[in-house]
Amino acid sequence: MTQRILLVEDEESISEPLSAHLAREGFNAVIAPTVQAARDSFQALAPDLVLLDVMLPDGDGKDLCRELRTRSDVPIVMLTARGEDVDKIVGLELGADDYVVKPFSAGELVARIRAILRRGTRSTPRGVIQVGGIQLDPDARTVSRLGNPVVLAAREFDLLALLMSNAGRVVRREQIMDDVWDPHWFGSTKTLDVHIAWLRKKLEDDPTHPRYITTIRGVGFRFASPEDPQGPQPAEGR
């Protein structure tokens, strides 16, 4: 089945050739030049991935990213002309799975798209995983904290699933980048730290003193084991 990509981009000099390139690569790309058009197309198309420009004529792409993330865990790749770290981090914290800075090569973008879509088809550990008040269902791709749903981006979910399926064990940074991003990832691994920080904001009572996801300096990260003497216990509901 042809995978559908929603391309939210108002510059025809970018959207038209990129759409044509995606079609040659076997994707069905639909262009939405405005925020409103993106909303309508998202509803009608049910895309497998969204390419989202930050600057749009009738709104902010980051706001649209946040809106789409509350409705779906569809992978979102931000397209931005600004390469400063703050923009990249803000985009990722809003729920984006990746970003590409303009100007970019179509080949590079397609490689990232394929890597992201490949992750979505990888098998995940079967059976509900629960540690303390955090519950993850790999089949339904849902997460809850103290019984309340937690909305995660696709990559955030994959990262959490990897850590929780190895609860009590240290998962090395290299393994995480290979399994959650791509074995041929060529970007900075700082994106991993950003995703860890965002997971902590969503899952921890105090993200600055995490009980679930701990950093093992110079090595990787460890998700708490239910058997930890000081491990997380289900907190009282508030």
pLDDT digits (tens, 9 = 90+) for 55-109: 899 999 989 998 998 878 789 998 888 766 556 656 567 778 888 888 888 988 9
Q: State the average pLDDT over residues 1-16.
A: 91
Residue where a domain stops, chosen among 121, 150, 171: 121
**Does 88 share its domain with 139?**
no
Let me know whether 58 and 159 are in one domain.
no
Q: Interior CA angle at 93 toward 144 and 207, to 5°?
A: 60
pLDDT of residue 174: 85
179: how many CB neighbours lie within 10 A of its CB?
A: 16
CA–CA dist 51, 220 (Å, integer):
30
On whether residue 185 sits in a domain, the answer given is yes
Q: Among candidates 119, 113, 118, which has minimal Cα distance to 99?
A: 113
52 shares its domain with 18:
yes
Which of 73, 103, 121 is the endpoint of a domain? 121
Residues 200, 210: contact at Cβ < 8 Å?
yes
* 67 and 158 part of one domain: no
Q: Residue 125 pLDDT > 90, yes or no?
A: no
Mean pLDDT of 225-235: 55
Reported as a pLDDT band with limits 50, 70 and 90, residue 233 is very low
CATH at 9: 3.40.50.2300
C-alpha closest to that of 68 among 58, 76, 78, 59: 76
Summary mean pLDDT of the chain: 84
Q: Provide the number of structural domains found in the chain.
A: 2
Task: State whether 29 and 72 are in the same domain.
Answer: yes
Q: Does residue 145 share a domain with residue 203?
A: yes
Residue 160: its pLDDT value, please? 95
Domain containing residue 16:
4-121
Host H or E run for residue 99: strand 98-101
Rounded CA separation 47/150 (Å): 22
Considering the entire predicted model, what is its pTM?
A: 0.58
Higher-scoring residue by pLDDT: 236, 108 = 108
pLDDT in tens, 181-223: 876 666 667 889 999 999 999 999 999 999 999 999 888 999 9
**216: domain CATH number?**
1.10.10.10
Which range, of 22-26, 96-100, 160-164, averages the lowest pLDDT? 96-100
**44: pLDDT confidence band, cut at 50, 70 and 90?**
confident
Residues 107 and 17 in one domain: yes
Domain boundary at 78, 99, 121, which? Answer: 121
CA distance 22 to 17: 9
The answer to whether residue 23 sits within a structural domain is: yes
Q: Which three-class secondary structure state does DSSP give residue 134?
A: strand
Angle ∠(139,119,37) on CA atoms, nearest 5: 90
Domain co-membership, 117 together with 8: yes
- 181 belongs to a structural domain: yes
Q: What does the pLDDT read at residue 87?
A: 62
Whether 229 shows a pLDDT value over 50: the answer reads no
Say if residue 99 is in the same domain as residue 29.
yes
The pLDDT of 146-172, averaged and rounded, is: 91
Residues 210 and 177 placed together within one structural domain of the fold: yes
pLDDT computed for residue 2 by the predictor: 79
CA separation for the pair 99, 64 (Å, rounded): 15
- Helix 106-121 / helix 154-165 crossing angle, nearest 10 deg: 50
Q: How far apart are CA 125 and CA 19, in angstroms?
A: 35
202 contacts 152 by C-beta, under 8 angstroms: yes
238 in a domain, yes or no?
Answer: no
- Would you say residue 198 lies in a domain? yes
Instruction: Name, in order, each residue with C-beta under 8 angstroms of 42's C-beta and a sequence gap of 6 or more.
Output: 6, 32, 50, 68, 71, 72
Say if residue 10 is in the same domain as residue 111.
Answer: yes
Using CB atoms within 10 A of its CB, is residue 196 exposed (0-12), middle (13-18) or buried (19+)?
Answer: buried
Matching residue, tokens 């860890």: 196
